[in-house]
Amino acid sequence: MPKFSINIGILLIILGIFSYILTGAASATALIPSFFGIVFAGLGLLANKKESMRKHAMHAALLLAILGLGGSFGGLIGMIGALTGGEMPERTGAAIGQAIMAILCILFLIAGIKSFIDARKSSD
């Protein structure tokens, strides 16, 4: 799970940088995925370095994924609506970035929950 946290972090950092560049550097809010990515990667590195902190770091990463999903879910809904025949969101670039961030957070949540279930089963 820590390696996955680092990988998600790297993808979010790249997403934030690309979003910022592709939106013409109009707003620093396009970098929000990068800020989340830095924290994801940091938590993954912490979990790798200190075995005693692994559980706490991964719980914090899951909380971060929930917060990231909450903040980006609107973009995902907007893009799903646009892909199913609705109107394109007003700020399409921002909606695409949010949708990608939401998908990455959902993937992390699924993997994290599965990992916790597997860990619980193996400890019983």
Residue 33: predicted pLDDT: 92
* Exposure string over 45-57, b if 16+ CB within 10 A, otherwise e: ebbbeeeeebeeb
- The number of distinct structural domains making up the chain is 1
pLDDT tens profile 51-83: 888 889 999 999 999 999 998 888 888 888 887
pLDDT tens profile 24-55: 877 888 889 999 999 999 999 999 998 888 88
Q: In which domain, by residue range, is 108 found?
A: 2-123
What is the C-alpha to C-alpha distance for residues 80 and 50, in angstroms, rounded to an integer?
40
What lies within 8 Å, CB to CB, of 10 at 6+ separation is 37, 41
